[in-house]
Homo-oligomer: A and B are copies of this chain.
Amino acid sequence: MDRHHLAVVDAAQGRLDPAAAIDFVSDPAFGGIDVFIGRVRDLNHGRKVVGISYDLFDALALNGFAQIAARAQAEFGPRLKLYIAHAKGRLAVGDLAVVIAAGTPHRDEAFRACRMVIEAVKHESPIWKQEHYVDGDSIWSEGCSLCGDAADGHAAPHAHDGHAH
């Protein structure tokens, strides 16, 4: 599916590249591109963070990205181009965890598609985050259970157990 670039990028082998994302979703017919970049930040829930390790079930994650892209295309039109890339492995503060880009003829669809995709990636993809703190402690984030609504493959809003998204 050459309108969608879907990738899991091992931190040991490369970095996420917003410029590549922008290039990929560019098209002479497109006036609007929206790009979301998620970075590792230095503080979470009041604790000093030194890094994050991401664990992924790669095969299911990539199949899930393809399903998310198909849903976005159904909602925002067949011409939509999407770039979805998530990092895997150990990242430092400031490293990029996720890059989403959406290109469309007009800007409204670009914004909405990009937002829809990042929400779906965060709530449905088999990705797990372990935060490493300055005091040497490490904690796996609580996250969203896939047993409920999300297990149907829909992006239905669901209750969260007080964890940050």
Contacts and interface: CB of A to CB of B under 8 A. Distances in A.
Nearest to A115: B111
The interface size bin for chain A is 20 to 34
Given A19-B19, A28-B93, A36 B39 contact: no
Number of copies: 2
B29 A41 contact: yes
Nearest to A22: B18
A131 to B, nearest CB: 12
B29 A43 contact: yes
A22 B99 CA distance: 12
A100 to B, nearest CB: 10
A22 B36 CA distance: 10
A107 B114 CA distance: 12
Interface of A: 18-19, 22, 26, 28-43, 93-94, 105-107, 110-111, 114-115, 118, 164-165
Given A36-B111, A111-B111, 10 more contacts: A26-B39, A28-B93, A28-B94, A29-B41, A30-B39, A30-B41, A34-B37, A35-B35, A35-B36, A111-B115
6 contacts: A18-B18, A22-B37, A31-B39, A32-B37, A32-B39, A111-B111
